[in-house]
Structure 1
Amino acid sequence: MSTQPTTVQKRETDVLIIGSGGAGLRAAIEATTRGANVLIIAKEELREAHTGWAMGGINVAIKEPATPQQHFEDTINGGWRINNFKLAKIFAEEMPDRIHDLERYGVLFDRLPDGTYFTWASGKQSAPLNLCAGDYTGREMMRGLLLEVKRLGVPYLEHTYATRLFKQGDRVVGAFLMNSLTGEQTVVRAKAVIVATGGGGAMYRVNTNAPSNTGEGYAWGLDMGAEMVDMELVQFHPTGMAWPPEKRGTLVTEKVRGNGGILKNKHGERFMARYQPQRMELAGRDEVSRAIYQEIQEGRGTEHNAVYLDVTHWEEGKVEKLIPDVFAAHMEVGIDIRKQMMEISPSMHHMMGGFVITEWGETNVEGLYAVGEVSCSVHGANRLGGNSIAEGQVFGRRAGIRTSEYVKGVSMPEISEQLINAELQRIHSYLQREQGPKPAEVLSKIKDTMWNYVGIIRTEEGLLKGQEEIKKLQQEAQQIKATNTQELQASLEIRDMLETAEAIVTSALVRKESRGAHFRADYPQMSEEWEKNIRVFRGEDGKLVTRVVPVTK
């Protein structure tokens, strides 16, 4: 058993950024450039953030015939018109400049022999918006962003988990941190906190996310009094590796379908002709995921509960050139996709909902900002592939601007010893128990509950069952016993994960229609009266409250 340190380190900074993906790093660059002192918190090594897992590309209207207006309209239509129109407009208009920023940081995007950008049209795009670096765009972006962060000398802490945010009065004033390797504990006072923690894929049995994506940012927001929106809208990527088991859920980029990959069932039938005869494999992610799910459910899937994705017809050299990472991932397990079809099935991929923010990343809580996947609502009910890592660049920069301005006008806050001691007591209670369930056992139950009841196809009966299971697991999670620092972090993550799961299922029960990623078998049609957003927050009694609001135009 790891011994927990008895002393708590103290630090202070103007802007505390929790999360080291593309959005968090972009915020750090901007705030630092504008004179703020910044501290970045990374759950893993700085270079291992989930942004680095993004494959297919980054959306931007940077080459004709694509225009910012077309990017905006595709984003709104792809999101089934419940996006925040104001944020989506800013996003589409500012993205070309953010590409030029990335290139200044050293990012290399693919170009044609004539020197122009290589772009391609992903699902639901009316013109080629997708700019990429092979099929490792996220990794290349992270390389450039990290070069700039290090050039600026921005301080950071790696392998560090924020256990909670601190609030004094109506203002967020810092966070409690724990090193996941040593158990060392640190309290950071901050004039502003930017939450950039990404999504919550770890809640689902099959997902494309990094293991660090445990959804705690949403829970912190609810704890602090922030409003969340669109939490019911959880995207499933149509094409995650389905075989072999050790690769299950590994992302197979949309670039495969965008460049002529064909989906087939076990009979060799190109089944998308039955569901989306116009767009075929390039229909929306929500539509393709449901089509694959239905094929498997109706017995036309492979023996591994999957369908085939076929690129064996591509000309020689195209696989290695366009999708080298997908090719390598399959070759690792003895599958040559140039000669054999891939087996794929949907995997939980992205959360469209999150913190309600202004165009500057501000939440309804003073001193608290949010950017990236943990925020909303550029994407509406279904995110276009390539829009996520793009969104983080636009709004990461904007949050960096606003926080750098905000911190000039406020004093450094104090965090009371009472708050710190209460958090220490909460944390150490997991280590002091004589007995209790192991965190891995509870986590496994969460994954099954969310996958089985709050997944691709939903019903009121299933959602109510899921809600009941989540409540039981919340009780069980209070009794978890941790025996070392790693289990302690997992225990704390589980508590937050269950709070986020509760917000998802609560919102999903309210939306009595099918729209985008939210498909209700008991309400299979999209309803005009539900062209609205669902917000969720904690009431004065501590219980979740929902309210339905008009779309922000």
Structure 2
Amino acid sequence: MTLARKDFETDVLIVGGGAAATMAAFECAEAGVRVIQATKGRATSGTTTVARGGFAAAMGKDDSPEQHLAEVLEHGGELINPELAAVWTADIVEVVNDMRRWGAEFILDDNGELDLKIFPGHSHARAVHHFDTTGNMVTKALSKKLRADNRIEKHSLTSIVDLVKDGPRVTGAWGVDYKTGTLVAYAAKEVILCTGGGSGLFYVNDNPPQVTGDGYVLGFRAGAPLLGIEMIDFQAMCCSPEELFGFAPHPTGFINAGAVFRNQEGEEFLKRYYPDTAEQSTRAEVILAMAREIHAGRAGLTGGIFMDATQVPKETILKQIPHVYKTCLHRGIDISETPLEVAPGSHTWLGGLEIDIDGKTPVAGLWAAGETAGGIHGGNRIGGSALSASLVFGRRAGRAAAASINEAPPPASIPDDASAWLEELVNREEGLLFADMRLRCRMLAHEKLGSIREAGPCAEAIAEYERMERDDIPLMRLSPEAQHSDKARGQDLENALSVKNLALLGKLLAMAALKREESRGAHFRLDFPETDDANWRAVTRLESAPNGGIDFQADMVT
């Protein structure tokens, strides 16, 4: 079977469908350049909906971007690029005002002013919000504006397989329209990667299923450095009851509401780890304490600890975390009466591709924003930072990429043989089923690369991911239905392509986690439990080597 092919040419190709990608698309459209937005899901899909409690912006009368910046840097494990953090904390104020003009429904107080929440790690109430469904509200506002903008060409249900280069410059990309199983090729002067993070690598996560680290892998293979990829924001996710498995009930919201965390013995264990600041514990601190309790054998029957809001007045729960309450109640659990058993699951990734303040990577023609970009959050991010930074850098990358197209050479054509290995995959009748391999990738990360790490498991993960790349992926096959249905073939291709990316991403994560022989921020090594500023006050950097290997270095922070 030979795959049909469609070719497109544009000034800017944006890969991704969340807040960063959509903000970039708006800026390109305003600049009057041709823009195509290719998304694995529907338009304005992505991880934006995962954001719940709000996002940070210094909108209060007694607050300032400078104070916001100081607190971001304080909690970043000394690994944040201060130039990136400075433009983010300054620009987000303007972005919030723009979004209000677009009709974003932020909650207001009795005086008609923004109702601002205070999150752990912040000295001021600065989280704009729509109760605990902020991500859904932002997605709705962006989606409405996107639908009304006919200048943006939208290609949904399209998975980008690889970038194309002409010498040192990225000149486009190619992939699969998995509605039909058709090969699509894009020639573009500038490409912006906004594909979210890599949480789909882990068996337990709260991200949409299409989030598989594509931007990290695409950029890495094209020559862009990956910074701090070992830093992952794990969050409390339900492991019991079964009806709530994988649901992330927003621990920051629980803490704000007055809930406590208990181990199997009933102890409020956060007070043991952080005796003076338990109520203001950051997300990373809560997850580390949870993971250590579980590792020490003080977990419940299904391997988690207990998030207990039974002593919190129901009216407070309904005000602070109504979405969590209603979601749990819909599945048969009243959190005002029953604690939730939770364990760490992958929520957001803090590292990513190296960028400057406009989202430009060191590779000509290639940009990144949102969770795909690195250097913004360092070793830890305080609550309300992910969506805030995504909105800012999506806008900056779109604006700067649009301004750069007049300096770019005409885009090169996509090679005719780009799809050769895809056609082999489609036509293979024997081999390893892609679904089994994807599960193996995810379980390997879950078991060996989670919130508590050691040298042995990290090395074992590297070896197994390398074996899968060498022995299994070349023999991967689609399901039998793919031979007879365009729709089944397209869906199988999209999922099979994620296996190739997950295996490489897992290897990169394991290497960075193994090399960093200390504990800092969101990265905890059981065999190196202390922070080592002398040797590891540094940002890890992974680059693709000319021989196909991986070059590692640690950039010391001065």
Match of 1:479 among 475, 482, 485: 475
Which whole-Å CA distance do the structure 1 matches of 2:244 and 2:432 have between them?
28
Which whole-Å CA distance do the structure 2 matches of 1:186 and 1:297 have between them?
47
How far the C-alpha of 1:376 sits from its partner, in A, is: 0.9
Task: State the SS of the aligned residue for 1:465.
Answer: helix
Bigger shift: residues 47-56 or 356-365: 47-56
Bigger shift: residues 15-24 or 530-539: 530-539
State yes or no: 1:90 paired with 2:96. no
Task: State the SS of the aligned residue for 1:369.
Answer: strand
The equivalent residue for 2:485 is none
Gaps of 5+ in 2: 483-488
The equivalent residue for 2:27 is 30
Task: Decide whether the 8 Å contact of 2:256 with 2:320 is kept in 1.
Answer: no
Task: Decide whether the 8 Å contact of 1:168 with 1:415 is kept in 2.
Answer: no
Which whole-Å CA distance do the structure 1 matches of 2:416 and 2:278 have between them?
55
The equivalent residue for 1:466 is 461
The equivalent residue for 2:65 is 68
1:496-518 Cα offsets, whole Å, 9 max, x none, are: 11111111111112211110111
Task: Decide whether the 8 Å contact of 1:5 with 1:185 is kept in 2.
Answer: no
What pairs up with 1:10-409 in 2 under 5 angstroms? Answer: 10-153=7-150, 154-237=152-235, 239-253=236-250, 254-409=252-407
Task: Decide whether the 8 Å contact of 1:5 with 1:184 is kept in 2.
Answer: no
How far the C-alpha of 1:454 sits from its partner, in A, is: 1.2
Which whole-Å CA distance do the structure 2 matches of 1:218 and 1:281 have between them?
35
Match of 1:544 among 540, 550, 555: 550
Amino acid at match of 1:218: Y
Amino acid at match of 1:170: P
Structure 1 residues 257 and 268: CA distance shift in structure 2, 3 A: same
Amino acid at match of 2:43: L
Task: Let me know the Cα RMSD of the aligned residues.
Answer: 1.6
How far the C-alpha of 1:281 sits from its partner, in A, is: 4.3
Which whole-Å CA distance do the structure 2 matches of 1:203 and 1:538 have between them?
20
Which whole-Å CA distance do the structure 2 matches of 1:300 and 1:48 have between them?
38
Amino acid at match of 1:538: S
The equivalent residue for 2:426 is 431
What pairs up with 1:432-511 in 2 under 5 angstroms? Answer: 432-475=427-470, 476-483=472-479, 484=482, 485=489, 486-511=491-516
The equivalent residue for 2:486 is none
Bigger shift: residues 258-267 or 535-544: 258-267
Q: How many residues align?
A: 545
Bigger shift: residues 483-492 or 369-378: 483-492
Task: Decide whether the 8 Å contact of 1:24 with 1:196 is kept in 2.
Answer: yes
Bigger shift: residues 307-316 or 167-176: 307-316
How far the C-alpha of 1:246 sits from its partner, in A, is: 4.3
Task: State the SS of the aligned residue for 1:493.
Answer: helix
How far the C-alpha of 1:19 sits from its partner, in A, is: 0.2
State yes or no: 1:512 paired with 2:517. yes
1:413-439 Cα offsets, whole Å, 9 max, x none, are: 1215xx232x21111111222311111
Percent identity over paired residues: 28
1:140-179 Cα offsets, whole Å, 9 max, x none, are: 1111112222222222011111111111111111111312
Which whole-Å CA distance do the structure 1 matches of 2:475 and 2:243 have between them?
31
Which whole-Å CA distance do the structure 2 matches of 1:519 and 1:450 have between them?
15
Which whole-Å CA distance do the structure 2 matches of 1:489 and 1:145 have between them?
26
Which whole-Å CA distance do the structure 2 matches of 1:301 and 1:509 have between them?
26
Which whole-Å CA distance do the structure 1 matches of 2:113 and 2:214 have between them?
41
Task: Decide whether the 8 Å contact of 2:183 with 2:419 is kept in 1.
Answer: no
Gaps of 5+ in 1: none
Amino acid at match of 1:420: D
Task: Decide whether the 8 Å contact of 1:65 with 1:128 is kept in 2.
Answer: no
1:432-483 Cα offsets, whole Å, 9 max, x none, are: 2231111111111111211111111111111111111111121212211113
Amino acid at match of 2:93: P
Structure 1 residues 471 and 6: CA distance shift in structure 2, 3 A: closer
How far the C-alpha of 1:519 sits from its partner, in A, is: 0.7
Which whole-Å CA distance do the structure 1 matches of 2:264 and 2:449 have between them?
27
Which whole-Å CA distance do the structure 2 matches of 1:192 and 1:47 have between them?
21
Task: Decide whether the 8 Å contact of 1:87 with 1:359 is kept in 2.
Answer: yes
How far the C-alpha of 1:332 sits from its partner, in A, is: 2.4
Structure 1 residues 61 and 5: CA distance shift in structure 2, 3 A: farther
Task: Decide whether the 8 Å contact of 1:262 with 1:311 is kept in 2.
Answer: yes
How far the C-alpha of 1:411 sits from its partner, in A, is: 4.0
The equivalent residue for 2:533 is 528
1:301-322 Cα offsets, whole Å, 9 max, x none, are: 2222222212233334332333
Which whole-Å CA distance do the structure 1 matches of 2:76 and 2:408 have between them?
38
Which whole-Å CA distance do the structure 1 matches of 2:427 and 2:299 have between them?
49
Structure 1 residues 509 and 298: CA distance shift in structure 2, 3 A: closer
**TM-score w.r.t. structure 2 length?**
0.95
Bigger shift: residues 145-154 or 88-97: 145-154
**TM-score w.r.t. structure 1 length?**
0.95
Task: Decide whether the 8 Å contact of 1:207 with 1:349 is kept in 2.
Answer: yes
Which whole-Å CA distance do the structure 2 matches of 1:159 and 1:281 have between them?
43
Amino acid at match of 2:114: Y
Amino acid at match of 1:91: W
Amino acid at match of 1:456: S
How far the C-alpha of 1:53 sits from its partner, in A, is: 2.1
